[in-house]
Amino acid sequence: MGFCQIEGCEPQWMTGLTEIRRTHGPMLRSLVGHTLRAVWLLEGPPGEWWADTPVVLDFDGVRLEVCHQKFDELSLACGTIDLDRSVPWFEADGGRLPLRWRTDLEPVAAGFAGERLTAVELVEWTGADLAAGMISPRFTFKTGHLKIYNVLDENAFATGPLLPYERSHRLQ
């Protein structure tokens, strides 16, 4: 589905640590100290997260939109999505399924709501495969980490330690 059907969204797809850090580093650093109020995900069929749509993290009213596509493209934006609007999706048979934004679709991500952000880093995948160079934002809270990463054109969450082929680039 992706961004193209979400009114107001115009993703700026980027690749590589240098470009992403230069473009978004100051904005990501400015979130440190803010409280994560909610993690918004788009619901399709009842209870199903459409993982190829943006993840919206609300830090005290600053809404960070994170989305991955292809093997290594990342888009970061702030405040372009109106979470009060449903997103129309048209079925092949002509039927219409209104998608809506919810904060309770992914308990792992929702579990960080109410916590203050203490650090942000960009995590680089260094494995010798098609995902080499992929960048994922990772957010640190008192109780743990929340990484939003790419799983073949969709978003996913991880909360554990970095993997052997991941290199952290902390944003100071």
Query: Per residue in 17-48, pLDDT tens?
Result: 999 999 999 999 999 999 999 999 999 878 88
Alpha-carbon separation of residue 117 from 1, 29, 82, 131, 140 (angstroms): 30, 10, 23, 28, 6
- pLDDT of 9 reads 85
Across the chain, mean pLDDT equals 92
CA distance 103 to 106: 8
Which among 27, 11, 120, 29 has a CA at the least distance from the CA of 73? 11
The sign of the torsion formed by the CA atoms of 99, 104, 107, 113 equals positive
pLDDT exceeds 80 at position 58: yes
What count of residues does the chain have? 172
Q: What is the pTM of this model?
A: 0.93
Give me the pLDDT at residue 8, please: 81
| CA-atom Rg of the chain in angstroms | 16
Diameter over CA atoms, the chain? 51
